[in-house]
Amino acid sequence: MKLLFLHPNMPGQYKHLARAFGAEGGHEIYFVTKHRTAEIPGVTRVTYGFKQEANEKTHRYLRLTERAVYQGQAAWRACFALKQKGFMPEVIIAHPGWGDTLFLRDLFPTARILHFCEFYYRAHGTDVGFEPTETINEDDLARLRLKNVTNLQALDAMDWGIAPTVWQWSLHPDYHRDRISVLHDGVDTVQCAPRDGASFTLPSGQVFRSGDPVITYVARNFEPYRGFPTFMQAAELILRERPECHIIAVGADEVSYGKAAAPGTTYRSAWMQKVQLPADRIHFVGTVPYAQLIDLFRISRAHLYLTYPFVLSWSMLEAMATGVALVASRTAPVMEVVEDGTNGLLADFFSPRDVADKLLQLYDAPEATRPLRAAARQTVLDRFALEKLLPLHMQLVRELAAGQVPPPVSREIAAISPIAPYRAHAWQGPR
């Protein structure tokens, strides 16, 4: 097959899928991206770059769209160069959220397009207005309406789509949902698995092992969307009440989602001024290599995951696959995976006291958490294991390459995705 992947941060959601097709051999595969160092055997990376940002004089409702157009043009140029060399993809597999695929339907009119439908913006019931102190005015509603311009173009152009969770699927307009399968990209449950003898070494050289008094928190970036303010306040309570406890936090000081911190500061530095945390027991280790992250999960006595109603992080499922004792926020789409008291504990996103109490409940009784840990891993084995989901992904691509729309495998995917119970509760608001 001739396959074209697009994701500005290669490999993104295609880490497993691109590797699998590359490893098969016999395919012609290109990956168009902004990333300049990622490599996948059997896949040729094509890097594009651009510096053009939206003009500050552009109407603020349209700046994200303008930026998406610039990025789409840059990706188009890279793809046009491939076309001039004779490459005509049978399937385009892409995350369209940044605009990379805006113009590819016309460049490759015979290709089937499989889009990753990650998030459709809504004015109510999702991330916007989730914070109690946030007020949404009519100007915000108008801006949000146009924030979906790129999404709508992608939905119109695609032959098929996938969404990683039922809740994320349900946010999309009802007239597009029948062309979107709920199919997570999968968790490698062999790599993400419990292992005796695991350890985690701090930059200072201090080593922690299973059984040590360690609580963990992981986010790509320390930001409100991933509950960082609540974490910091809960950490203050925990470290005050358990003088032997250490907390290890993995993440960076940038912002992936939502508003940036005040100029000249970061959310972490701002919160360090608001709470009292003993420097010898709170450990911010930055980002760490993936293997070390998995070892951190393995040695954690209790792990915390918080999120706005937004996209679900890989890290929560990876942590569950290693058998962590998990505390997670009582938010969508977390509640689609975590059943309170069965495979984890759910806590109030906005209550540091509730978060601290739930973490300490697990921390104080590590032997009693064995059933919870086993159930967490079993959830991932049953619903998110790569060995089950990757073949479905690959079959979906093969059927699209053969011109089968809708792809027959979509019925098999629907059979293992709990869509039906959610259909009645899917977004029914105004379009």
Distance from C-alpha of 308 to C-alpha of 331, rounded to nearest angstrom: 7
pLDDT for residue 421 is more than 60: no
**Amino acid letter for position 356:** A
Cα torsion for 108, 113, 119, 120, to the nearest 10°?
Answer: 70
Residue 267 and residue 306 share a domain: yes
The answer to whether position 427 is within a domain reads no
For residue 269, what are the contacts with CB-CB under 8 A and spacing of at least 6?
A: 253
- Alpha-carbon distances, residue 78 vs 3, 14, 81, 84, 113 (angstroms): 15, 19, 5, 10, 17
The answer to whether position 23 is within a domain reads yes
The predicted-structure confidence for 236-274, as pLDDT tens digits, reads as follows 999 999 999 999 999 999 999 988 999 999 999 999 999
The answer to whether position 424 is within a domain reads no
The answer to whether position 101 is within a domain reads yes
- Alpha-carbon distances, residue 13 vs 72, 94, 116, 176, 207 (angstroms): 19, 9, 8, 21, 32
CA angle 418, 424, 427 (to 5 degrees): 95
Average pLDDT of every residue of the chain: 95
- The residue-averaged pLDDT of 151-179 equals 96
Total structural domains within the chain: 2
Q: What are phi and psi of 185, to 5 degrees?
A: -75, -10
Distance from C-alpha of 227 to C-alpha of 6, rounded to nearest angstrom: 30
pLDDT for residue 307 is more than 80: yes
Model confidence, pTM: 0.94
Instruction: Give the percent of the chain with pLDDT over 70.
Output: 97
Residue 398 and residue 319 share a domain: no
Residue 419's pLDDT is what? 60
Q: What is the CATH number of the domain that holds 356?
A: 3.40.50.2000
CB-based contacts of 192-196 (< 8 A; 24+ apart in sequence): 192/294, 192/297, 192/318, 192/321, 192/322, 192/380, 193/321, 193/322, 193/323, 193/377, 194/298, 194/322, 194/323, 194/373, 194/377, 195/295, 195/298
- Nearest in space to 15 (alpha carbons), one of 375, 318, 336, 380: 318
Q: For residue 323, give the 3-state DSSP assignment.
A: coil
Cα torsion for 217, 222, 225, 231, to the nearest 10°?
Answer: 40
User: Which of residues 319 and 56 earns the better pLDDT score?
Assistant: 319
DSSP letter string, 243-302: TT-EEEEEEESS-SSSPPPSTT--HHHHHHTTS---TTTEEE-----HHHHHHHHHH-SE
Residue 50's pLDDT is what? 81
Query: Sorting pLDDT into bands at 50, 70 and 90, what band is 135?
Result: confident
Residue 428's pLDDT is what? 46
Residue 230's pLDDT is what? 98
Residue 420's pLDDT is what? 47
Residue 217 and residue 154 share a domain: no
The answer to whether position 47 is within a domain reads yes
pLDDT for residue 424 is more than 70: no
Specify the pairing of strand 199-201 against strand 180-182. Answer: unpaired
- Alpha-carbon distances, residue 219 vs 7, 155, 176, 244, 419 (angstroms): 21, 29, 31, 24, 28
The answer to whether position 61 is within a domain reads yes
The answer to whether position 108 is within a domain reads yes
Residue 252 and residue 171 share a domain: no
Residue 322's pLDDT is what? 98
What residues are paired with 91 via a beta bridge? 3, 112
CA 76 to chain centre: 25
- The residue-averaged pLDDT of 34-40 equals 95
Residue 257 and residue 161 share a domain: no
Residue 214 and residue 104 share a domain: no
Residue 95 and residue 140 share a domain: yes
Residue 165 and residue 29 share a domain: yes
pLDDT for residue 2 is more than 90: yes
- Alpha-carbon distances, residue 388 vs 23, 183, 254, 412, 413 (angstroms): 18, 11, 34, 12, 10
pLDDT for residue 429 is more than 70: no
Residue 51's pLDDT is what? 76
DSSP letter string, 138-164: HHHHHHHHHHTHHHHHHHHH-SEEEES
Residue 112 and residue 51 share a domain: yes
pLDDT for residue 146 is more than 60: yes
Q: What are phi and psi of 284, to 5 degrees?
A: -95, 110
- The residue-averaged pLDDT of 316-334 equals 98
The answer to whether position 193 is within a domain reads no
pLDDT for residue 423 is more than 50: no
Q: Given CA atoms 10, 380, 164, 121 in this order, what sign does their dihedral have? A: negative
Residue 417's pLDDT is what? 80
Q: Which domain holds residue 266?
A: 199-383
Distance from C-alpha of 357 to C-alpha of 337, rounded to nearest angstrom: 21
Residue 416's pLDDT is what? 87
**Amino acid letter for position 396:** L
CA 312 to chain centre: 5
Distance from C-alpha of 323 to C-alpha of 366, rounded to nearest angstrom: 12
Instruction: Give the percent of the chain with pLDDT over 90.
Output: 92
Residue 246 and residue 167 share a domain: no
The predicted-structure confidence for 65-88, as pLDDT tens digits, reads as follows 999 999 999 999 999 999 999 999
